[in-house]
Structure 1
């Protein structure tokens, strides 16, 4: 008997102390341009686009994703993913459940065989009183700190040093908290009368991170005081304007280090830092390694 798709995702109200996520799969991969088959999964997936563009069709809606965005794919919900960039798109994917309720041995165990549906295997989405379900608005633009946690989780899951299960559980809880807080900030921001102008400005910062985005300039563009503009900005993205600009520049610098052969100095200039020493110091502060070391490591991985 096939499932009634309308009942998914299954949800369970639970205090945070009962959240105990287990990781079933965590990997960075490149996918050639094309549409993947429709599917359902027994667990949940965070699918983050680190390079290129992608799209997901789910519940009658098409979500288009750019680099730096992720989509939350719920258990039991029919969806279809697409790598929309030529020649390929780079993804970071994490499969997990909220309550350590699944025994996943292979990747195939995560995918629903519609001819032999195992009803009891569908995982429950945890819902806390203070937040809306993550599945309610599935597209997120995670802050830099959250992206770094996801990358660290992939490293732990791939290398599997002693205690990696505990590390992965801890990292996943932090990732979920980032997304929940981001969702709450986004909900508060939507009620703001300045929402449209603020969203346009944030998108412009992402397109042109090298511009001189000072707090004063952002406030002037919004027609608000510096303090009020900074408050609304933080409600939207979870970071003050200056920190957000730095995070976007850093994200672009990482991309250029991975994908181009530009010099470190040229990359610094291209993302908005005129001095190579200042750029190098900031990069090491964020990553813990130099830009040159990051480039070498990213090409090994």
Structure 2
């Protein structure tokens, strides 16, 4: 059976980082220390060909958006750029920007607006220097974090603000680390090898690959492959396979075309109880509860 993920490898952005997207990374210092506070909004939007903003600027909040799918076109000053699936869009306070959805492939996205408390006196100034668009290798990690953020914000369960702050601070941490030029130079030589492996996992989610087999496929030692995979994707090879399976299971369940047992079978699980335990460990809830939501 052929599988098509909502995170299809055909539109996942390359794991290579455009050096133009890392301008100002050298200004980030090890002493940076900020905390998130005063959320203004958390919004998830579905594709809309009519979506657009004109010369928008927020006076006192940082805005972060994550492209779930599709394409948007942005203008910031004299600079224009396209945003595609997996991209992060970052605007500090006061940055005037305009944007519109692509007419044939409109984007869907999640955005969050918040203030930051600066604990060093210089940290927010450094964050202002981050690029407005970041292309990061941690697509599944970001997708999972933003999905949880939207869920916590909309459900407003006990201590939801604590978790929302933690999620956004984790996202900021990943963004800052990813713009460290020395780390990126170290990972670039084998980025395409890891991308080849992630494509294989995404294309054949019904299989479970041994880490040793994946390492052999790209001619790397198993120990080095494990370290490199975690550095580039944010997951261990086993965790990444679990995330892919569970995200596809969510799609299968929500499609209404199969029940929990059938979804487990299509994803290569012989034991539905093991599948349910794995689903709960990754998603935080059982597949049956996920369906009820």
TM over 0.5: yes
Given the superposition, is the C-alpha separation of residues 166 and 281 from structure 1 closer, same or farther in structure 2, using an over 3 Å criterion?
Answer: closer
Asked if the contact 1:72/1:139 (under 8 Å) is kept, the reply is no
**How far does residue 280 in structure 1 lie from its aligned partner after superposition?**
1.0
Q: For the aligned residues, what is the CA RMSD?
A: 3.8
- In structure 2, C-alpha distance between the alignment counterparts of 1:226 and 1:84, rounded to whole Å: 45
Question: Which of 266, 269, 282 is 2:265 aligned to?
Answer: 269
- In structure 2, C-alpha distance between the alignment counterparts of 1:293 and 1:282, rounded to whole Å: 14
- SS state of the match for residue 230, structure 2? helix
Answering whether residue 88 of structure 2 is matched by residue 71 of structure 1, we say yes
Given the superposition, is the C-alpha separation of residues 78 and 219 from structure 1 closer, same or farther in structure 2, using an over 3 Å criterion?
Answer: same
**How far does residue 236 in structure 1 lie from its aligned partner after superposition?**
0.8
Question: Which of 12, 30, 35 is 2:46 aligned to?
Answer: 30
Aligned to 1:127: 126
Asked if the contact 1:142/1:179 (under 8 Å) is kept, the reply is no
Aligned to 2:249: 253
Answering whether residue 182 of structure 2 is matched by residue 213 of structure 1, we say no
Equivalent residues in 2 for 1:78-89 (5 A)? 78-82=97-101
Q: Which has the higher contact order (CA 8 A, sep 6+)?
A: 2
**How far does residue 171 in structure 1 lie from its aligned partner after superposition?**
3.4
Given the superposition, is the C-alpha separation of residues 141 and 40 from structure 1 closer, same or farther in structure 2, using an over 3 Å criterion?
Answer: farther
Asked if the contact 1:49/1:70 (under 8 Å) is kept, the reply is yes
Given the superposition, is the C-alpha separation of residues 54 and 296 from structure 1 closer, same or farther in structure 2, using an over 3 Å criterion?
Answer: farther
TM-score normalised by L of structure 1: 0.68
Asked if the contact 2:51/2:101 (under 8 Å) is kept, the reply is yes
Aligned to 2:12: none
**How far does residue 291 in structure 1 lie from its aligned partner after superposition?**
0.5
Given the superposition, is the C-alpha separation of residues 270 and 41 from structure 1 closer, same or farther in structure 2, using an over 3 Å criterion?
Answer: farther
Question: Which of 146, 167, 170 is 1:174 aligned to?
Answer: 170
Asked if the contact 1:21/1:172 (under 8 Å) is kept, the reply is no
- In structure 1, C-alpha distance between the alignment counterparts of 2:174 and 2:271, rounded to whole Å: 32
Question: Which of 188, 196, 202 is 1:200 aligned to?
Answer: 196
**How far does residue 222 in structure 1 lie from its aligned partner after superposition?**
0.6
- In structure 1, C-alpha distance between the alignment counterparts of 2:182 and 2:254, rounded to whole Å: 31
- In structure 2, C-alpha distance between the alignment counterparts of 1:206 and 1:84, rounded to whole Å: 28
Asked if the contact 1:157/1:164 (under 8 Å) is kept, the reply is yes
Segments of structure 2 that go 5 or more residues without pairing to the other structure are 1-23
